[in-house]
Each structure stands twice: as C-alpha cells, then as structure tokens.
Chain A
C-alpha cells in the first residue's frame, strides 16, 4: 500500500474500523519505522480525540472517587489512647477492632493483589506487543553469572523490554532506574523498577527509542521515587550499537 492509498485510512486505523487485512498492512509499515506514517497517525489521533464530544460529560458518584483514592492510600495508624478510662474502652473494643483491622487488612490485601495482577497483565501485553514486532532486536549483556546479565529487546517505535537476573539487593528506600544514554547529551530517565528477592527483573517501557540517537541503556540505583538525572554510577550499561 502506498502513502497515497493510506492517506484516508489513518483515522480509520486509529479508530480500529479498518478491515483486518488493511490494518495489518499499516501495522507492518509502521513497525518498520515509517516516520511519515507515525506523524499521520498522531494527527489522526488528534482528530478522533474529538469524537467523545458526541457525548456529554457525566459527574460520577462521589463514592467512586473515595474508593479509588482509598485504594491507593497507605492505611493510617490509629491515634494512641491517653487516659485510663479510654484504655478501658479500648480493652472493651479490642476484639471488634482486631476483627475490623483484620477485615480491612484483607480488603487492602485483595485490592493490592488486584492492582498487582492488573499491572502485570498490562506489562505482559506491552511486552508481547514489543516482542512480536518485526523490527525488534535483542541485545545481550553481562556474560557470566556473577554480575547482572540478561537481554534488552528494543524496538524503535514500540519501546523496550529489559529482562535479566542477578541484580544486587537494594534497601527499600532505593530503586533501580533505567536511563537512555544518547550519543550526545544528558541521560534520559526511562522508568523505575525493582528486582525480586532472587535478583530477577523484567521491565517494559513503551517509550520510543531512537536507536540512531540512543547509544546505550543503563541502570543505576536511585532514591525511592527516582531521580531526574543519575546520582550514582550505573551498575549496568548495555550498548545498543
């Protein structure tokens, strides 16, 4: 299919309204890194973004907002009781409180697991999407078992999957941060992640990686919450060239 033939298909492509055969052709063309098509698709997305205007915004119930914010909040500790009388009340209420805390704990645990599962599912989908692209290439790093080792699967348009083993243990107030290292210029933050207790890790980043400009991907240990620029020497550097 030529660009001329695709000209009137970009919005339909973004909407998902194309027939499968046409969509697959555009998928493959975009996966090959056609900047013209990517730009056209970005513009098409701006046009189709107008379509929700066909409906009126509707105020959701306040309870939904409360549920969402409660589910991401850290549970607050109850204030300490000060007087003997209140202490007696506390004894009387202890059984009920134990049950309530147990139930609340179960609820938070269930929500946490649900969020984790949803996060893992989304990460898996993103990884499959990147790995299935025809232009994705694999770069191996760390040749022996004593240092962090693994592979980076990188796609210019889809992002990258960073997977491996044997990262060092870090304290809870630290995190691993990925960096895209351009041939010229400052490192660009590309996401935070933690390894499991065995040092295994998988991180999926949907950030586009311009392999002509980005010379390497690196990992450093940063304060929890991440940094805008590396504050420690990278423990892994994976050249992409």
Chain B
C-alpha cells in the first residue's frame, strides 16, 4: 500500500511549479515502495535502479498532467511504476534475462536494503486483508499485478481451468474490496 500524506496537496503544487525540492520530497516518500515494486517485477537490482530513475524523471516531466480528482499522488506514481515494470517484462531484453533465472529468484542484495521506515496504519489494515487471502488467491493476484497477466495467461501458467482462476480472482478481489471499504469507514 502506498503511504498517503495529507501534505500531498502542497507537494503536487511544488511538482507542478517545477520545484526540484518537490521532486526530492516525492522521491523520499515513494521511492522505497516503487523500488520494492521494481525489484519484485524485474528481480534484477540494476534494472530496478534504472527504472526508478526513469520513473522519477517521468514524474518530473509529467507532473502537470496529474489530476488529483482521479486518485492520490502515490497511487498515480505507483500506477506509472507498475506500467513501466510490466513494459520491461514484455521487452525482449527482459524475456532473455528472465529465462536465465528460476521463477522464484530474488536478487539477494535486494533483501539487505529493506527500508527501515515503519508501515503506516493504513498498510496494516491492507496487510490484514492480504493475509486473509489463501495461497491460490494471492498467487493469481500476484501474476495479474506484478506480471500483467490476463486470466487466460494465468490459467495457462498455473495449468488450472480458466473458471477456477476466475473464481480465485473474484474471491480474492472481493476480500480486498471489503477490507478497503472497512478501512475507509474507520
């Protein structure tokens, strides 16, 4: 979950006015979440660093396009990050590199750099919901979110019937939806 900040309005104003301090603040807030996402998607530390650099240059160049009526700054940044990560996965270079590694490979150096920053309260609520997902529900959501797979592609990857995959996704997303509504009501 991306931390939400009440000071985002001021940060957005600074980004839109091309204040470099604004980008520094945005980086300090969201780089750890984005870097973790890139590592999870690419499983390659140097690629994740390159993508992180490109992400914040895009945020800098496109900040005037950001429309806060469509969601928070953090959600916008993470959506761009996810699209960039999946674009990379679909590139020829990535397909070549990924074939050289087992599917569960994680760059070991990545684990030595976990953020010391504690999770925010909202993340705890989301984590509770995520922990309620069973292994199958979690797996299909991971494949959809981190690898950009369609339900048909997930069924093929897991060698499961399409109907079963659809059920797992529906129930998994339903649990998340319920948790997010409860969180919003608190």
Contacts and interface: CB of A to CB of B under 8 A. Distances in A.
A191 interface: yes
A50 B57 CA distance: 24
26 contacts: A8-B173, A12-B173, A17-B151, A45-B71, A49-B71, A50-B1, A52-B1, A52-B33, A52-B37, A52-B82, A53-B127, A53-B130, A54-B145, A55-B36, A56-B36, A57-B32, A57-B117, A59-B35, A59-B113, A59-B114, A65-B28, A72-B57, A115-B57, A115-B61, A208-B67, A226-B17
A51 interface: yes
Given A17-B169, A51-B141, A206-B65, A71 B57 contact: yes
B31 to A, nearest CB: 5
B144 A17 contact: yes
Interface residues of B, number: 69
B129 interface: yes
B156 to A, nearest CB: 13
Contacts of B49: 60-61, 64
A46 B180 contact: yes
Interface residues of A, number: 48
Interface of B: 1-2, 17-18, 20, 23-24, 27-28, 31-33, 35-37, 39-40, 48-49, 52-54, 56-58, 60-62, 64-65, 67, 69-71, 74-75, 78-79, 82, 86, 110, 113-117, 123, 126-127, 129-130, 138, 141-142, 144-145, 148-152, 154, 169-170, 173, 176-177, 179-180
Interface of A: 8, 11-12, 15-20, 42, 45-61, 64-65, 67-69, 71-73, 115, 118-119, 122, 126, 191-192, 205-208, 225-226
Contacts of B148: 16
Contact of B78 (A49, A67, A192, A226): A49
Contacts of B116: 59
Contacts of B1: 49-50, 52-53
A118 B57 contact: yes
Contacts of B52: 60, 64
A20 B152 CA distance: 10
A114 to B, nearest CB: 8
Nearest to B17: A225
Contacts of A12: 144, 151, 169, 173
B125 to A, nearest CB: 9
A18 B35 CA distance: 27
A60 B35 contact: yes
B64 to A, nearest CB: 5
B75 A54 contact: no
A176 to B, nearest CB: 13
Contacts of B177: 11, 47
B75 A45 contact: yes
B58 A122 contact: yes
B17 A60 contact: no
A49 B62 CA distance: 20
A61 to B, nearest CB: 7
A57 B115 contact: yes
A11 B54 contact: no
A222 B57 CA distance: 25
A51 B151 contact: no
